[in-house]
Amino acid sequence: MRVLIVEDEPLIALDIEDALFRAGFTAVDAASDLQHALEAVATGTFDVAIVDPNLGSENAGPVMLALKARSVPFVCVSGCTSEQCLPEGAGAPYLSKPFDQRELVACLLKLVLRPAA
């Protein structure tokens, strides 16, 4: 399964990539800013995404809404609360940083293996 990672902290992004690799996922792109993330959503081919809603001084709300518009499931990972960082209507699972890598992998598997609505 191919995963888009939207994360502005390089060490966290590498940690996520490592966990994904060990679980059999393929990280197809890692975007660290809003512009690159939006381009990746518009042009990329992936099954699921991991999104940090705070990309430095930018909010990734538009990325989450673009993923939702493309019917791409995603999980939000952040140090803030879900109420602070998820745009209304995002409908995404939320993991608080620091998170357990096994929990992230399990969440991604749930998203990609869920029955179509």
| pLDDT value of residue 27 | 76
Residue 42 phi, psi dihedral angles, 5° rounding = -70, -35
| pLDDT value of residue 10 | 92
Number of domains present in the structure of the chain: 1
Tens of each residue's pLDDT in the chain, 117 residues: 899 999 999 999 999 999 999 999 987 788 999 999 999 999 988 999 999 988 888 888 899 999 999 999 999 998 775 555 655 555 678 888 888 999 999 999 999 887 555
| pLDDT value of residue 89 | 52
**DSSP letter string, 15-57:** HHHHHHHHTT-EEEEEE-SHHHHHHHHHH---SEEEE-SEETT
Domain extent for 89: 2-113
CATH number at residue 102: 3.40.50.2300
Q: 55 is written with which tokens?
A: 């990309």
